[in-house]
Amino acid sequence: MTEGKKRVRRTPEQRLADLEKKQAEILERQKAALAKIEAEKKRLTQSPSARKKNVEQEKRFARAVEALAPEWDYRHFIAAIEKALQEDPQALQERGEALLEEHGKPRRGRRPRSS
């Protein structure tokens, strides 16, 4: 009778090295998947509709700031934000939405086309 191949037992060090290699491969695949997801999120936030919405929000904010505190500059706003962080965020959000609704609307009337 011919004898078959003998099974070679791997040492624990060899098995540990294989596991570490497998773990590194899995981490690389996860990093690639996360990078793909981040790229998709960035692409969605850079889309024309999202950019248009952000620009409109910034304009509303600027109009409300000009109406509420025309003499303030960035230093005043930083200090006000620091004080506001000590208050209830939900109440601040509701008050901010009300103020944006009141003061953030564009002026009525005909305006020249910007493009």
Residue ranges per structural domain of the chain: 13-46, 58-105
Q: What would the pLDDT profile of 57-75 be if each residue is shown by its tens digit?
A: 888 888 888 888 889 888 9
Question: Which pLDDT score is estimated for 4?
Answer: 74
Question: Which pLDDT score is estimated for 99?
Answer: 85
**Chain mean position to CA 55:** 16
Question: Which pLDDT score is estimated for 111?
Answer: 66
pLDDT-based confidence at 16, cuts 50/70/90?
very high
pLDDT-based confidence at 22, cuts 50/70/90?
very high
Please give the Cα distance from 34 to 7 (Å, whole number).
40
Section 80-89 average pLDDT = 87
DSSP state of 47: S
What is the SS3 assignment for 69?
A: coil
